A and B are shown apart, each in its own frame.
Chain A
Amino acid sequence: MKMSNDNRQDKDMASVVMACLFIIMGLVALWDTTNMVDSDSYVFPRAIAIAMILFSLALIFWKLAKPVAKKDADGVGASNFRRIALVGVMLLSCMLMPWLGFLISGFATFFLLMLVAMYDAWTPAKKIIYPLIAVAVVLGFYGLFANLLQVPLPIGTLFE
């Protein structure tokens, strides 16, 4: 019985850790408000930071006092590699954009993300059609934003 109980109940330590992080964040925010000169600037954020710390403390006590039913792990079989790759490619795109310009970094991002999100086999037809669609989408959005909406998209320092 005891084993079964241990298996199904937990102190939800993850929430406790998250609450601790929010307390640290609140303390940092409080420290930063000491640099503010005008009371109009610090009254509101200070009140919010204190409230966040108090709510986080309450959450810690609540989670330690009351065990919760253990949940089955979410996203079993999900690819963390692809998740990290997605975020990495998007951040890489931001870093390359000032140098390569929006269009080239956009093509690179689109093609890389296409590889990251591809679960099916690359058939000869897909090898031709998908890149063509990618080019059409990137050029379409570029045309819409740069020409119609007059958004000054980066040209890239390499090409200036």
Chain B
Amino acid sequence: MPGFENLLAALTLVNLMLAFLGVVAGTVIGSLPGLTATMAVAVLVPLTFTMEPSSALIMMGAIYTGAIYGGAYSAILLNTPGTPSAIATTFDGFPMAKQGKGDLAITLACIASVTGGLVGATFLLLLAPPLAEVALAFGPVEYFWLAIFGLTLISALSEGNLLKGLIGACFGLLLACVGVAEISADIRFTFGNQVLIGGIETVSALIGLYCIPVLIDLVATPDRHLKVTHEPRGFRFLEALAISWKHKFSLLRSSVIGTLVGILPGAGGSIAGLVAYSEARRSSSRSEHFGHGEPEGVMATESANNATVGGGFIPTLVLGIPGTPPDAVILGALLIQGIRTGPSLFVEGASIVYTFIYGLFLATFLMLPVGLVIGRYAYKAIITIPKALLVPTVAFMTVIGTYAIRNSISDIVIMILLGVVGWILNRYGFSPSPIVLGLILGSIAEQGFVQAWTIGAATGALPKMFFGRPISLVIIFFILISLFYPVVRKRWLKHRWRVTHEDE
């Protein structure tokens, strides 16, 4: 049972310092396009090898949580998700920044990240063992439907042109197929080019599709990058807090979604953010404002992706199965520390685990001041740096960030070319977001589909495999709601408007 003594153990000066340093380092690394939370944890994990196990865990958790939040900065200010978890943050974060509300968006992202982080940590503290069972109930077909659920966001991102969104998603799905097939190891769509055998790296594609078009447009005119209608008004904390309170249910729902998706091994923050964004949009009375700078969109994504931190630790600690990629790195570090994960860890290693969980709370609380201060300076820097310095700095960051992922110059070339393609497509109404969705969800969808197909065919129960499992049916239900609710709602509102005006 979680005890007061574990809370006190987490609150030592050393742990406080480590949590603070971890959050700062994670936030800075996460904010750089190309450097993911996984990389932040992997790079800094050797620092923890000589520490006490609980202190090491606290520092790794702090780095992870800071890196996930840090991804929001570049998503909001540069339209480039610093980490894949922040993809959906760009949908409303960058439009807010363009409208001169970048400072508000960053503060909202910070509050939402803290809320999500706290909800995830609470689930980890109170419900870890039973929730870990949920992860085991997810088979390939459930992952397939989950990826399809993510793809239904296309209808929301297609700006009234669903066909173009669907074509873009197909293009992204085909891009995801480039290289060696995950299941059968056939080489696909490389056309004899050896560079493509490794496939298209997702994060570098994200940087290309989102950031290069911004740079191409930025350099073409002398206008400012972001609209500044007034001097920045501090942190705009109270304003952000009022907005957060107004959307408290959405914030909590997104945090719970993030936690539950985080529990599923391999799903990760990007799916959590996309699913939470989709749900927030579906249930919002201002759904038509989503994609045009709606604060609720930023909050939904950021709370969900930070909730995956606590959620991801549930299968990691209880089952020894990493929930998210950074958890896999942390799991490796735990083994080096001599900690054996599994259901017995919560009994035999209770002092370490609960001290770590309280440390995660601590790191999440620390993220509020740290995130606000770093975010403020990031915003100030972006709006005050002259264009002649901003363009080369951002371009340089995209190049070095892309190179760092696989140490490959070819990845930089692919990133630039995809950026040019993305810019051209965007000019003709093909938004980059469906392409990115297809690219990210492609491998999950294909792997789930092929595995489920193989099992279904082998057992002679193909339809039952896809449509006969309870969790699949629940996800299919949400897919149908996500697809058709906007249409039904629009018609219903139209009908109500007509009835009201006829009465008048």
Q: Note whether A and B form a binding pair.
A: yes
Is B189's CB under 8 angstroms from A45's CB? Answer: yes
Give chain A's interface secondary structure class: helix
Query: If A59-B163, A114-B392, A141-B400 touch, does A94 touch B454 (CB 8 Å cutoff)?
Result: no
Q: Which of B383-406 contact A (CB under 8 A)?
A: 386-393, 395-397, 399-400, 403-404
- B interface list, Cβ under 8 A from A: 35, 39, 43, 163-164, 166-167, 170-171, 173-174, 177, 181, 183-184, 186, 188-189, 191, 212, 215-222, 386-393, 395-397, 399-400, 403-404, 407, 409, 412-413, 416, 419-420, 425, 427-430, 445-446, 449-450, 453-454
Residues of A within 8 A of B (CB): 14-15, 18-19, 22, 25-26, 29, 32-33, 36-38, 40-45, 48-49, 51-52, 55-56, 58-59, 62, 74-75, 77-80, 82-83, 85-87, 90-91, 93-94, 97-98, 102, 106, 109-111, 113-114, 116-120, 130, 133-134, 137-138, 141, 145, 148-154
In chain A, what residue has the closest Cβ to B429? A15
A85 to B220, CA, bound (A): 10
Assess the B425–A18 pair: CB atoms within 8 A. Answer: yes
Minimum CB–CB distance for A7 against chain B, Å? 21
Kindly list 20 other residue pairs between chains A and B, CB separation below 8 angstroms, not including A86-B391, A130-B388, A149-B404. A32-B191, A45-B189, A74-B427, A75-B217, A77-B221, A78-B217, A82-B220, A86-B216, A94-B399, A97-B409, A98-B409, A110-B396, A113-B391, A114-B388, A114-B391, A119-B387, A120-B388, A137-B396, A145-B400, A150-B43
Contact A55 B163 (CB under 8 A): yes
* Shortest CB distance B500–A (Å): 29
CB within 8 Å for A153 and B395 given contacts A74-B427, A87-B216: no
On whether A59 and B167 interact (CB within 8 A), knowing A45-B189, A94-B409, the answer reads: yes
**Which residue of chain B lies nearest to A36 when distances are taken between CB atoms in the complex?**
B186
A25 close to B171 (CB less than 8 A): yes
Tell me the bound Cα distance from A114 to B386 in angstroms: 10
Chain A residues, CB < 8 A from B219: 79, 82-83, 85-86, 116-117
Min Cβ gap B291→A in Å is: 18
Contacting residues, chain A, for B400 (C-beta < 8 A): 102, 106, 141, 145, 153
Question: In whole angstroms, how far apart are the Cα atoms of A95 and B242 in the complex?
Answer: 51
Q: Are B184 and A18 in contact (CB under 8 A)?
A: no
User: Complex: how many Å from CA A25 to CA B191?
Assistant: 13
Nearest-neighbor residue (CB-CB) of B39 within chain A? A149
Query: Are B177 and A117 neighbours in the complex by a CB distance under 8 Å?
Result: no
Instruction: Across the interface, name the chain A residue whose C-beta is closest to B394.
Output: A113
